[in-house]
Structure 1
Amino acid sequence: MITRRGFLRFIGGSFLSVASFSAYAVGIEPMLLTHVKRYALTPPHWPAGLKLRVVALADIHACRPWMTPERIASLAEEANALQPDLIVLLGDYIAGMRLVSQRVTPPEWAGALSGLKAPLGVVSILGNHDWWADGFAQRAEVGPTIARKALEKAGIPVLENDAVRLEKDGHGVWIAGLADQLALLPKKKHEPPRGLDDLDGTLAKISDAAPVILLAHEPDIFPKMPWRVSLTLSGHTHGGQVRLFGYSPIVPSQFGNRYAYGHVVENDRNLIVSGGLGFSNLPIRFGMRPEILQIDLG
């Protein structure tokens, strides 16, 4: 039989454990030095002799005190130091929660990202929060959003249902980018957000047999991805923000943990989902440090 003293010790220990967990998850892990998550793969129908290093940043969610312009500029320097051939930005630059001390404006975060440099350039897509935070775009149900304008003013092209052909060492490679799959908030209760993505229309713009890397903020499009696409890169999930033993309790995806995080191979098709850099809803990360992706292809 448990004694009163034993019960109080149990309660005290539980309280300290919860307090310690909360302090670490809110105050420490989100601000740890960014982890570089490295992948090396040769996707299907990848040209022999084409070696391509892609560095990806996802889900910055700029806000104070968590993701300041100074920290974003530092992330840009870290990305450059990885010596990428190409840098891709996977959406959600705008804060996704209310627990902030101050907003970071689009000119501020886009200006910090303007320091990104790579021989083949920097390309970007938008995320759901980049659309949801823009009241005018929501009412008009069309862009360009404030986020897109800020990125383009900073010299970073934005791909929304579009594709661009790059070349390295005599080999071509297509970078395709989807418009967001959750772009428009519902006008009625219990309706899901509506997407502006057009996968078929985007791939129709690819005019030769060069490999395709497709950028899609949400990974839920992956089951529809044709084998023609060598690699799909996504963000959005933040790896669940809390991840233990390869499992995330809450994942913003209709597929749950199937596409929550990491390298997924299905039917010889490849998807890599970034754990991201910032967070939405709550400023918590546990078992899922902020990360930059380094992907070596070929």
Structure 2
Amino acid sequence: MSGAKPRRRIARFKWLVLALTVAGCLILVKAFRDTMGDPVVHRVSVTSAGLPAGSEPVTIALLADIHVAGPDMPPSRLERIVEQVNRLEPDLVAIAGDLVSEKRTATHIYSPEEIIAPLGKLDAKLGVAIVPGNHDHWFDWAALKTEIRKSPQLTVLVNDAAQFGPLVVAGSDDAFTGRDDLEATFGAMDRLSGARIVLTHSPDIFPQVPVDVDVTLAGHTHCGQIAYPWGGSPATMSEYGDLYACGIMEQHGKTLVTSAGIGTSLLPIRLFTQPEIWLIEIRPPQS
């Protein structure tokens, strides 16, 4: 009998090790699928008085935090995502910054030409609007901007606004690195007419967005990138915590859409968050 208890303890220990090993394997499989899976498409509809009654709705595909870098986001994967976006047939594509990742865990850092080339294949009749993110500035925003401007369908917005058909899109420079000029950004919208859209990397400018803006489109937070299974995450890189960190927020008559993005930052892994594309339909008022 003296050896029975040690044997039972050894047996329990073996079962514990087995259970932890199985759990670890399941988490690794989950992380791989969350990181490398095709982006999930989410849809939302917003009514704008800036569109004439009876006019056709306008759709915007929101991409954010592409973070081109090895191992998880080589240009070849971005090309496949571009094909997925094109199949959605958006009228406008809005890219909310962080085109690149220079993370230390990257297995390969690509050139500005390699990073931008797949975006030149986006097919949207109103074009593509792009704002910079913090990683774009830390990498080489001047070189990225030079490559972007080689493609006629790609438009850079830096504290400025432009007309895209019936849409007025204002693009803020990156607030996370303190390069935003909201007075200039919002002021640039006043000389244009149409449904009013604000495109920004960080959602933290949302409290300052005017109430007559129909929708604000943002990224940066990755919805936490590594999140809890029950929701929320340890870090969102937002001064407002989880408030503006993920999905749709309606506050003071304004609408914000914050995308989880499609790439990764710092660590090349997602867990309990998925890459995503938002398809935003801007509709005119009902007759």
Q: Same fold (TM over 0.5)?
A: yes
1:228 aligns with 2:225: no
Measure the CA separation in 2 of the matches of 1:152 and 1:108: 14
Identify unmatched segments of 5+ residues in structure 1: 135-143, 184-194
Conservation of the 8 A alpha-carbon contact between 1:248 and 1:260:
no
1:196 aligns with 2:179: yes
Greater CA drift, 45-54 or 100-109: 45-54
1:165 aligns with 2:163: yes
Match of 2:274 in 1: 289
Q: 1:96 to 1:250 in 2, by over 3 A?
A: farther
Match of 1:68 in 2: 74
What code does the residue aligned with 1:30 have? T
Greater CA drift, 33-42 or 7-16: 7-16
In the TM superposition, what are the counterparts of 1:1-298 in structure 2 within 5 Å? Answer: 3-25=9-31, 27-43=32-48, 47-50=52-55, 51-134=57-140, 145-155=142-152, 156-167=154-165, 172-183=166-177, 195-206=178-189, 207-208=191-192, 210-243=194-227, 244-298=229-283
Conservation of the 8 A alpha-carbon contact between 1:87 and 1:123:
yes
Match of 1:137 in 2: none
1:106-160 Cα distance to aligned partner (Å, 9 max, x none): 10121111001111111111110000123xxxxxxxxx62221121123311100
* Matched pairs, number: 273
C-alpha displacement of 1:48: 2.9
What code does the residue aligned with 2:261 have? G
Conservation of the 8 A alpha-carbon contact between 1:64 and 1:102:
yes
Measure the CA separation in 2 of the matches of 1:46 and 1:151: 29
What code does the residue aligned with 1:69 have? P
Conservation of the 8 A alpha-carbon contact between 2:48 and 2:195:
no
SS in 1 for 2:155: coil
- Shift >6 Å, 4+ stretches: none
1:194-219 Cα distance to aligned partner (Å, 9 max, x none): x1111111111222553310001000
SS in 1 for 2:116: helix
What code does the residue aligned with 1:123 have? A
1:39-75 Cα distance to aligned partner (Å, 9 max, x none): 2232576653341100111111111221111111111
Q: Percent identity?
A: 34
TM-score by length of 2: 0.88
Identify unmatched segments of 5+ residues in structure 2: none
Conservation of the 8 A alpha-carbon contact between 1:120 and 1:166:
yes
Conservation of the 8 A alpha-carbon contact between 1:43 and 1:270:
no
C-alpha displacement of 1:22: 2.9
Measure the CA separation in 1 of the matches of 2:41 and 2:193: 31
CA-atom RMSD in angstroms:
2.0
What code does the residue aligned with 1:103 have? I
Measure the CA separation in 1 of the matches of 2:194 and 2:146: 30
Greater CA drift, 111-120 or 148-157: 148-157
SS in 2 for 1:145: helix
Conservation of the 8 A alpha-carbon contact between 1:110 and 1:154:
no
TM-score by length of 1: 0.85
Measure the CA separation in 2 of the matches of 1:43 and 1:5: 66
Structure of higher CA gyration radius: 2
Measure the CA separation in 2 of the matches of 1:39 and 1:267: 18
